[in-house]
Structures are given as C-alpha cells and as structure tokens.
C-alpha cells in the first residue's frame, strides 16, 4: 500500500478538487462521516455514548466538527472543545463550525490554560476522546494551550481516536515532535501517512483505519510517492513454478562467508535459511577449525575450509581462495559470526572491494565497514556501484556506519535508512519492529510482519540467508530485501502463534519456512484484506 507525506496528500486533495470539481467541503464531510463510522464500530463494545471532540483551528479541527455532528445525529452525547478563538477559524473549518453551532451542539472555547482548567472535568467526562487538534501540518513541537491539552489527553484513561494522525507526531517522518497524543485508534484519510507506518511515531497510532473519502481512484493511483507499507497478503512469490527440467545450477549458487570459532551457528543458520528459501547450491567458506562443526550441522551445504588466525577467524591468506570461489557463484553472503579480529575485518573489506557479485552484508561485515571511515563511500564508487548490494544493520550498527548516536537512528528511522542507502549505494534493511527497507534512489518500504519474540540471537542470520537466496536466484537488491524481510517476519509470526513469543528462537523460523512457501506458491492462495481498512497491527 502506498504511504504518503502530508505534501503529497495535499496535492492529491487539490487534484481531486481541481480536476474533478469535488468541493473541499465534500471531502471534509466524507472524512468526518467515515471517521464517525469507525469510532462507532471500534468502540461499540466499550461504549461511545458520550464523546468529547477536541478541535484545532485548521482542517483537522474541521474534520472534528463533522465527526461531532454525525455522532450527535446517531444519538451520542457530544461536547466540542475548540483550542482557539472561533473568530480565528477559516475556510472549511469555519463552515463546519457554523453548521455544528446551528445544529445546537455544545461548543466550548479552550484558548488559554485557564479555560482548559475550567473545562478539564467536562472534557474528560466521556466514553471516548477525539483528537482533532493538530493533524498532518505539524512542523514544530506543540506549545502553549495545545501542549497543555495534549498532556491532559495523554494522562487520561479514556480511549482516544486520532483524526488523520495523532497530534504531536510528524506525519512525514515518523518522528515524535514534542508532546504527543497516544491514540487507541487512528482514522486516516485516502492513504496512510508515513508517520503512521514508521516508528517511533507509529507506536502512538494504535489501530489504524484507512478510509475512503471519495478521492477519485485515478487520483490515488497516480500518487507520486516513493514510500510503501507492506501489508499481509500484498507480497507475491516472485518466481515462476519450477519447470520440469530445472536443475540446481539454475536456482542460485550462494557463497556464505561466515563463522568463526564460537560462532559457527551464525553461518549454519544463514545457510539453512538460504536452502529452505530454494537456493540451489550453498557453499560455506569458514575457518578450517570450524569445518568439523559445520559439516554435520547442515549436510546439504558444501564447505570450503579456509586459512585462519590464531583466534579461529578467517585470515588474510583466505582472500584469493574466497575471491576465486565467488567468481563461480551467483551471490555472496558476508558477515555472520566472522569475528572482530582486525585481520578478518580487513579481509571482509577486501571482499567488499574486490568481489563484483550481488551481496548481502550483515553483522561483522557491517562492523568492518564501520571501522573504516572511508569504506562506506567506496561501496558507491565505480566499478561496483551497480551491483546488487544489501546491508542489514540493526540500529546500533546503523549508528556506527552513519557516525551518529543510536538514539538519533531510533528517532529518525526512515531518514536514517535512506541516508545510509544514499551514502553506500546499497539497499539497506534497518532492522527492528517495522523494519525499513531503503533503496539508494529514495524508495522505502515499511515491513509489518514480525513480533517481539524475534528479539533473540540468530534472527538476523536467518534474514540474511533468506535475502542471500533471493539474490542468488536473480532478484534485484531492493526486491530481495523487501521480500526477504517480509517472509522473515511472517515466519516469525507463524512460529510465535504456534510456540508463543517468550520461547521463540531463530531455528523455529527455519521450521516454518516450508509450509509458508507452500502456501505462498499455491494457486489457491487468496487475499482477504478489506479494501478500506489497514490491517490491524499491534504496537
């Protein structure tokens, strides 16, 4: 599903108004009506008999006036609180304020801290709170009475519905800008906004409903946005059915450069995941002393014992043999369990610099890049800038690569992933809840599969193996990363449903992949999404 910034959404609204002559008042009316429908639907069991609607002075407030009218018409006891002097209202917001006033709705002004205190008890005397305060236009932290109202809403124990986006979050970046509302439900219009998809702001959105406000289908289809959120049942298996004369050489030959003494499991899990994802041939280049542990653990893969350091990591003497092996392979997987020995890090950088093959880099491969200030930029330089390279950092690794605090990466996940992709010329999978997959050309996809049970060792190795298999089978880096991240999370969700989150381990995902792929490649597979609803995603 496409995800848009506020600027793109405003442009779509203008196109609908200018090209099809749909008045802005009609779009606002539809938005408020559909939001009222969602409020009654979601909060039906808990009750929505009394509703407090907090309106700002912009279009978000205008939506709030419409919501208040429709809820009142359906029997709810509605109070409207305007966080401004009504004399300052303009345009459609003013028009809908006047309609609500003439309908006899109870409307109170909260334009100062004193008025907030006077109305606090009545504001909170409700079953549901509606946040129509700031909307998508927020560019700086809320101050004054708006910040005070947000603090009251945040401290309330009443369920909250946010209109379009929760007040206080950036609709364009996923950042939390100052004080912000934590909603239980967000009803957003036309297309979802970036801030509802990307963490940390997404944590404040609660359940998300995307509702139709009668924007023409052609206008929505033409939305020029580089961003998408990958919802369940949207991804499709990218390969055709296997032909009768297929052979293993046509299904991708993957070289796994991984493991060290004490970390053999990393390469084993990555290789196992690649084979379960359909890779035809997998070869593990490993320190010679690790070979006897690896061979019986994954008997379908080949091993290539290599010279090693005294610490049991791959040594510089392995360089030519690894490069020669890569010349006969379709893709390379580099990094899991390589170790932090300086000589091995230099070897990893040599492989990155000299091997012109599609490649996925994780863990110690990323740490090697981070240890060399110039290495990241060299990835984007000729002659290999066009190879299909995928980096899969978690937030700490991304922070080291970017030379920025990890808190900055966590607060600006979309921008961080895009910046790392731009600097490296690689597709970047910034791992975490709602992993962000970013391409050097500015595209980004937000993943919705996965669960907290996957916060355990080895999960990244499984992801790397899946992506490596896709690269070996001919997918471009961005497609391999998007599909691999989606399947990795989906396997984790299936395993958690069967085993629970607390006891989930990485190898549980390997056991889920066969049935998952059988489902995805079945001709009987059907989609079950409602066309007007964004699948409900836990925080």
Q: What number does CATH give the domain 252-520?
A: 3.40.1190.20
Q: Which two tokens stand for residue 467?
A: 């992506």
- Cβ distance 183 to 164 under 8 Å? no
- Judge if the upstream peptide bond of residue 122 is cis by omega within 30 degrees of 0: no
pLDDT at 155: 96
H helix intervals, 372-476 = 375-379, 395-402, 406-411, 413-424, 459-472
Q: How many Å apart are CA 426 and CA 359, to the nearest integer?
A: 10
Query: In this structure, what DSSP letter does residue 65 have?
Result: H
Q: Which two tokens stand for residue 385?
A: 């800038």
Three-class SS state of 60: helix
- Judge if the upstream peptide bond of residue 535 is cis by omega within 30 degrees of 0: no
pLDDT lower than 50: segments of the chain: 523-532, 538-539
Q: What are phi and psi of 448, to 5 degrees?
A: -115, 0
- Cβ distance 437 to 466 under 8 Å? no
Closest alpha carbon to 9 in 137, 180, 111: 137
Domain 2-225 has CATH 2.40.30.10: no
Q: How many Å apart are CA 170 and CA 52, to the nearest integer?
A: 24
- What is the reported pTM? 0.92
User: How many other C-beta atoms are found inside a 10 Å radius of the C-beta of residue 239?
Assistant: 13
Q: How many Å apart are CA 24 and CA 14, to the nearest integer?
A: 9
Query: In this structure, what DSSP letter does residue 285 have?
Result: E
- Each domain of the chain, given as residue ranges in start order, spans 2-225, 252-520
Three-class SS state of 4: strand
Three-class SS state of 162: strand
User: How many other C-beta atoms are found inside a 10 Å radius of the C-beta of residue 400?
Assistant: 17
Q: Which two tokens stand for residue 182?
A: 């934590």
Which pLDDT tens digit goes with each residue over 1-50? Answer: 999 999 999 999 999 998 888 999 999 999 999 999 999 999 987 777 99
Per-residue H/E/C for 149-215: HHHHHHHCCCCEEEECCCCCECCCCCCECCCCCCCCEEEEECCCEHHHHCCCHHHHCCEEEEECCCC
Element (H, E) at 207: strand 207-211
Q: Which two tokens stand for residue 374?
A: 């110039």
Please give the span between the terminal C-alpha atoms of the chain, in angstroms, as a whole number: 19
């Amino acid at each position: 599903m496409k995800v848009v910034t506020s600027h793109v959404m405003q442009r779509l609204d203008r196109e609908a108004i200018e090209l099809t002559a749909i008045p802005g008042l009609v779009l606002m009316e539809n938005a408020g009506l559909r939001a009222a429908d969602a409020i009654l639907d979601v909060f039906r069991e808990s009750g929505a008999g009394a509703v407090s609607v907090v309106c700002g002075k912009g279009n978000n407030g205008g939506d709030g006036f419409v919501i208040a009218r429709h809820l009142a018409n359906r029997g709810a006891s509605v109070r409207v609180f305007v966080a401004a002097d009504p004399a300052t209202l303009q345009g459609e917001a003013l028009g809908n304020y006047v309609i609500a006033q003439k309908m006899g709705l109870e409307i109170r002004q909260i334009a100062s801290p004193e008025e907030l205190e006077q109305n606090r008890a009545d504001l909170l005397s409700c079953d549901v709170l509606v946040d129509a305060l700031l909307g998508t236009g927020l560019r700086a932290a809320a101050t004054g009475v708006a910040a005070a109202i947000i603090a009251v809403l945040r401290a309330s124990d009443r369920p909250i519905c946010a209109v379009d986006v929760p007040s206080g979050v950036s609709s364009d970046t996923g950042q939390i800008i100052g004080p912000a509302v934590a909603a239980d439900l967000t009803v957003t219009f036309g297309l979802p906004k970036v801030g509802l998809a990307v963490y940390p702001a997404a944590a404040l959105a609660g359940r998300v409903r995307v509702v139709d406000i009668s924007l023409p289908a052609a206008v929505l289809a033409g939305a020029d946005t580089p961003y998408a959120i990958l919802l369940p049942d949207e991804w499709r298996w990218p390969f055709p059915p296997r032909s009768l004369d297929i052979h293993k050489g046509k299904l991708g030959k993957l070289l796994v450069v991984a493991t060290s003494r004490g970390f053999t499991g990393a390469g084993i899990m990555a290789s196992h995941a690649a084979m379960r994802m359909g890779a035809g041939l997998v070869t593990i280049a490993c320190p010679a002393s690790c070979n006897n542990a690896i061979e019986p653990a994954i008997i379908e893969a080949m091993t290539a014992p290599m010279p090693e350091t005294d610490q049991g990591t791959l040594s510089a003497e392995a360089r030519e043999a690894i490069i020669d092996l890569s010349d006969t392979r379709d893709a390379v997987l580099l990094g899991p369990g390589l170790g932090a020995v300086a000589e091995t890090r230099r070897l990893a950088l040599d492989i990155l610099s000299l091997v012109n093959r599609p490649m996925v880099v994780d863990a110690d491969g990323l740490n090697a890049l981070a240890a060399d200030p110039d290495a990241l930029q060299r990835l984007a330089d000729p002659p290999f800038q066009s190879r299909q390279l995928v980096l899969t950092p978690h937030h700490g690794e991304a922070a080291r690569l970017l030379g920025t605090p990890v808190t900055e990466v966590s607060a600006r996940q979309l921008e961080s992933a895009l910046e790392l992709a731009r600097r490296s010329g690689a597709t970047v999978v910034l791992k975490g809840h709602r992993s962000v997959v970013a391409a050097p050309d500015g595209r980004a996809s937000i993943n919705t599969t996965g669960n907290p049970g996957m916060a355990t060792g080895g999960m990244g190795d499984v992801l790397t193996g899946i992506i490596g298999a896709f690269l070996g089978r001919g997918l471009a880096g961005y497609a391999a990363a998007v599909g691999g991240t989606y399947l990795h999370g989906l396997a984790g969700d299936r395993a958690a449903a069967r085993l629970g989150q607390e006891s989930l381990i990485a190898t549980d995902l390997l056991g889920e992949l066969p049935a998952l792929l059988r489902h995805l490649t079945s001709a009987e597979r059907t989609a079950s999404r409602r066309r007007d609803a964004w699948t409900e995603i836990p925080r």
